[in-house]
Chain A
Amino acid sequence: MRRVDLVRPSLGALAFMVAALVTPLVASGAFPAFSDPYTQKDDGNCTQNAVDPINVVFAGSVAGLDNTVDQIETHADWHTSSGSAQNLTVRVSSSGYACRGQGAQRANNSLVESRFHTRLWLIPHTQGTNDKDTVGDAHHEDFEEFRCFPPSHAVDSNGSTGSGFDWGRRELRDEFDRAGHVTANHNWGNTRNFRQCDGDYAGSNGSGVNIHIGHQQG
């Protein structure tokens, strides 16, 4: 057994941790300014059921949920709103986070076809400000008729050109780039792997893309 020389928390830090446990909000330490790095199943309280990596942030004065959806429909041509529901721990105040259901989702094909897909969450703490954030878990998924039972979507597994999470993020970035939006890649390090219904594993390469939205669509 290795000796681990850990930093002892101060009394103040201990008091904070106790307070955080009894509040309905999750203490900070997650993604700054927006959310936990992974979505969660929708049947829990956002703990111990991670599902997808967050890999895109739409940011700007008009990057609220509705306008972000409009922009995705216009620039990426993702119009379908079918798909399952997920939760995400999102920032709700300057000092707290809470578990919330997704606000919207868009895909470029139906539930029974392979497709690009993203779920979207407006970050409540940014609502009403001039710097809104709407985050997403963009991915490409195959419709697996035989390898999954019942037939379902499986995010494309890890490979030399990335996983379906990387492809989905790149697709959105490329489409918004072409439309003249400013984008910026960051390294968030959220490279955890997720087992898919076909038995393969898919994870992000840790990149996250910021896509600026500075104009109202339509």
Chain B
Amino acid sequence: MVTRILAVCVLVCVGSVLILGISATADSEPVPTPLATLKSEDLVPCTNPGEAANFTTYSVGTKLGKHTNTEVLRRCDLPYPGEPVRANYVSYIYGSCEIGDGDEGCAPPLEVQTWPACERARGDYTVAGGAEYPSEAIGEIEGAPAEQFDAGLRAEVYTQDSTVVVFGDDAKLVREALDELQAEPRNQTLAPPASDVPAGELPAPNPDAEATQCAG
């Protein structure tokens, strides 16, 4: 009788452990993000409208194939509590797109977006559980490491001063853009790409594509 009671207890105990174990692993909650705001030493100060950007920016010239530069955008946001990034870039838009009926926008076929290197680096991207966002190394652009993301529809080049992000409608267009990257003159205000920038070398590569500290 005692043996039977003991056996039942063991079964119940083991069963409880198993059930609890299964329950514990069934629903892994995300780690909550503290509502801390990005620190100023992590950011490059925003420039005023009409001022030149305070980091080297890149384009693919006035056009790439049939895609002509149609817009130059400057964005520099205030940090938002709890968010790991704030937008700070100069963007060259190439080509046009057709907006569908209803409440839709559209993405122009090619966009070359430049961020300060200290505000956007390979090591910044994560997904649930802290896992790294997947990418694939695709070699170097004049010595600067380059990676591709999202089935080749996004590529990034990590130079010492800036991170260049290329978005395109197809991977071939993105690769063609990587071949034609040119640095825009540092002292110019927001303007269409310079058409006569000589195809020289990119600035020194960022030896640490994972992260670079901003000067603050």
Residues of A within 8 A of B (CB): 1-7, 26-33, 36-38, 41, 43, 47-52, 57, 59-61, 83-84, 86, 111, 117, 130-131, 141, 152-155, 158-162, 166, 170, 173, 182-197, 201-203, 205-208, 210, 212, 214
Contact = CB atoms under 8 A, between A and B. Distances in A.
B3 interface: no
Interface of B: 26-33, 71, 73, 75-78, 80, 82-87, 89, 91, 93, 96-97, 99-109, 111, 113, 120, 124-128, 131, 133-134, 136-142, 149-152, 154, 156, 165, 167, 169-170, 178-181, 199, 202
B28 A203 contact: no
A51 B105 contact: yes
A161 B109 CA distance: 26
Given A52-B105, A162-B77, A203-B87, A193 B199 contact: no
Contacts of A1: 179-180, 199
A197 B82 CA distance: 31
A184 B128 contact: yes
Contacts of B167: 192
Contact of A212 (B29, B87, B101, B180): B29
A61 B107 contact: no
Interface of B: prevailing SS: loop
B77 A161 contact: yes
Contacts of B181: 2
A14 to B, nearest CB: 14
B133 A188 contact: yes
A7 B27 contact: no
Nearest to B99: A197
Contact of B30 (A184, A192, A205): A184
A59 B105 contact: no
Contacts of A189: 120, 124-125, 133, 149, 154, 156, 165
